[in-house]
């Protein structure tokens, strides 16, 4: 082989090595492109998950949390129907949904024997089958399953395990947010509710009365107030005991709340005394409500002592109505309390309304629009 031929062979071998190196570099470049694309995709997911987490965690109302959860998961996992089921005893209740509701399970689903059972009873879904069109993941908070997130995809690519992982991450954020929202609602309720009667407490009544006065002054309508006292309540405690006295207070509170409009506010003022705020009612309307409540309490079943004596539960009611510029919380309470004292002076089991003819024991037939629509809250 001549030197020229030997050099040519060497060059050809070198070219083959360079071509092989080029192919290897192209493979590396393609791997890098795929890795970069995957990292960008994962970063996009992380950014979206952070956005969803911030969006969900910024509200303290459970329904708003669930609505934002479905909105967020829809951006991560394409679906044609999505819903959240919350555990309620032995049932799962569909509490929020997005998309085509006809694709989803019924609104109320018995947990036992339903497709939700493996998830809601603590089972873990580690993978989803090929060609899956339905995905259910658990929503856990503080180690407890509070519900499930259900997705349906009717067309396009089947759901895959990555979809499940993303859905589980969103479900975990949602479960924590719902748990926090419920704790907040419970704290608020405990702070504003009387534990014995489940009515608003004295503090909440004061704040609510101030707000109602401001609203009535601004909009130009009357505001009524009733002060109510359970007659001879000390005798109830002395004769029947304090547990029975507590039950009487609960019964009276139930009568009051079930005979008021949704716009009215009933509160335990203290001891055996109650207060009711009546937006939009004048003196006649206040009397009408007072008489209605007095009769409803009088209809309660009497207490029977060990000696066989009957004790009829009754209330005395004092009322007042005022409008701007005479609206003042301290004055309203003072006048209503004075009217309550007058009702007791008249023999108890009576209604007395300030600035009204004291001989008028029944509401007159003429009543304004607000008074005519005074019906029990539904």
Q: What is the CATH number of the domain that holds 121?
A: 3.30.450.40
- What confidence score (pLDDT) does residue 368 get? 39
Is residue 343 one of the residues assigned to a domain?
A: yes
| Amino acid 360: pLDDT | 38
Q: Report residue 9 as tokens.
A: 């062979």
Among residues 321, 322, 323, 302, the alpha carbon closest in space to that of 313 is found at 302
- Give me the pLDDT at residue 372, please: 37
- pLDDT tens-digit readout, 260-276: 999 999 999 999 999 99
Q: What is the pTM of this model?
A: 0.61
Structure tokens belonging to residue 139:
């929503």
Tell whether 177 and 145 lie within a shared domain.
yes
Is residue 364 pLDDT above 50, yes or no?
A: no
**Across residues 41-61, what is the average pLDDT?**
83
Q: Are 75 and 49 in contact (CB under 8 A)?
A: no
45 vs 139: which has the higher pLDDT: 139
Whether the pLDDT of residue 35 is over 90: the answer is no
Boundary of a domain, candidates 190, 211, 232: 190
Picking from 51-65, 150-164, 313-327, which range would have the lowest pLDDT averaged per residue? Answer: 51-65
In a domain, 207, yes or no: yes
Specify whether 364 is located in the same domain as 252: yes
Average pLDDT, the chain: 87
> Does 165 share its domain with 231?
no
User: Of 87, 277, 60, 59, which is closest to residue 188 (Cα–Cα)?
Assistant: 60
Name the domain boundary from 170, 190, 210. 190
CB 222 within 8 A of CB 323: yes
Element (H, E) at 198: none
DSSP lists the bridge partners of residue 318 as: 227, 352
> In angstroms, rounded to a whole number, what is the distance separating the alpha carbons of residues 147 and 352?
52
Distances (CA, A) of 13 to 2, 19, 25: 17, 10, 18
Given a contact cutoff of 8 angstroms between Cβ atoms, the answer to whether 90 and 110 are in contact is: yes
- Is residue 228 domain-shared with residue 277, that is, in the same domain? yes
Residue 241 within a domain: yes
Please give the pLDDT value at position 125.
Answer: 56
- Residue pair 318/352 in contact (Cβ under 8 Å)? The answer is yes
**Confidence check: pLDDT of 361 > 70:** no
More confident residue, 199 or 35: 199
**Beta carbons within 10 angstroms of residue 118's beta carbon:** 14
pLDDT band at 314 (very low <50, low <70, confident <90, very high): very high
Q: Find out whether 308 and 239 touch, Cβ atoms under 8 Å.
A: no
Residues 176 and 221 in one domain: no
Task: From 254, 275, 255, 251, select the one nearest 265 (Cα to Cα).
Answer: 275
Which among 340, 313, 317 has a CA at the least distance from the CA of 245?
A: 313
Residue 122 has pLDDT above 80, yes or no: no
Helix (H, G, I), strand (E, B) or coil at 55: helix
- With a cut of 90, say whether residue 183 has pLDDT above it: no
Nearest CA-CA partner of 85 in 66, 61, 113:
66
Q: Does residue 107 fall inside a structural domain?
A: yes
Q: Residue 280: inside a domain, yes or no?
A: yes
Provide the domain limits for residue 164: 33-190
DSSP 222-291: -EEEEEEEETTHHHHHHHH-HHHHHHHHHHHHHHHHHTS-TT-EEEEEETTEEEEEEET--HHHHHHHHH
Q: What percent of the chain has pLDDT over 70?
A: 91
Residue-level length of the chain: 378
Please report whether residue 231 resides in a domain. yes
Contact 186, 249 (CB under 8 A): no
CATH code, 360: 3.30.70.270
Q: Say if 25 falls within a structural domain.
A: no
What pLDDT shows up at residue 142? Answer: 84
Give CA–CA dist 248/255, Å, rounded.
11
> Mean of the pLDDT values across residues 156-169?
89
Cα atoms in the 13 Å half-sphere on the side-chain side of 6: 3
Number of domains comprising the chain = 2
Q: How confident is the model at residue 334 (pLDDT cuts 50, 70, 90)?
A: very high
Q: Is the pLDDT of residue 375 over 50?
A: no
- Work out the average pLDDT over 224-250: 95
Residues 241 and 125 in one domain: no
């Amino acid at each position: 082989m001549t030197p020229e031929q030997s050099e040519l062979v060497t060059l050809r071998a070198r070219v083959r090595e360079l071509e092989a190196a080029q192919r290897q570099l192209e493979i590396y470049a393609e791997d890098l492109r795929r890795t970069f694309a995957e990292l960008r995709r994962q970063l996009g997911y992380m950014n979206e998950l952070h956005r969803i987490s911030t969006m969900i965690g910024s509200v303290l109302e459970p329904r708003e949390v669930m609505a934002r959860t479905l909105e967020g998961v829809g951006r991560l996992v394409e679906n044609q129907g999505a819903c959240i089921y919350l555990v309620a005893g032995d049932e799962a209740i569909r509490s929020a949904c997005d998309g085509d509701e006809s694709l989803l399970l019924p609104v109320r689903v018995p947990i036992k024997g339903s497709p939700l059972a493996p998830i809601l009873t603590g089972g873990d879904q580690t993978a989803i089958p090929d060609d899956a069109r339905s995905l259910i993941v658990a929503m856990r908070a503080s180690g407890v399953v509070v519900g499930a997130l259900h997705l349906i995809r009717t067309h396009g690519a089947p759901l895959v395990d990555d979809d499940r992982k993303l859905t589980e991450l969103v479900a975990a954020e949602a479960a924590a947010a719902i748990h926090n929202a419920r704790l907040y609602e419970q704290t608020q309720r405990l702070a504003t509710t009387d534990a014995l009667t489940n009515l608003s407490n004295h503090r909440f009544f004061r704040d609510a009365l101030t707000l109602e006065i401001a609203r009535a002054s601004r909009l130009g309508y009357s505001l009524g107030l009733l002060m109510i006292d359970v007659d001879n309540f000390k005798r109830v405690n002395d004769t029947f005991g304090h547990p029975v006295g507590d039950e009487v207070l609960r019964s009276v509170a139930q009568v009051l709340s079930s005979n008021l409009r949704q716009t009215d506010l009933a509160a335990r003022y203290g001891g055996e005394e109650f207060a009711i705020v009546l937006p939009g009612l004048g003196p006649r309307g206040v009397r009408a409500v007072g008489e209605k409540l007095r009769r409803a309490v009088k209809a309660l079943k009497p207490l029977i002592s060990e000696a066989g004596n009957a004790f009829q539960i009754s209330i005395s009611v004092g009322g007042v109505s005022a409008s701007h510029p005479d609206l003042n919380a301290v004055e309203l309470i003072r006048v209503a309390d004075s009217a309550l004292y007058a009702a007791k002076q008249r023999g108890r089991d009576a209604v007395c309304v300030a600035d009204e003819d004291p001989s008028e024991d029944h509401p007159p037939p003429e009543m304004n629009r607000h008074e005519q629509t005074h019906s029990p809250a539904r």
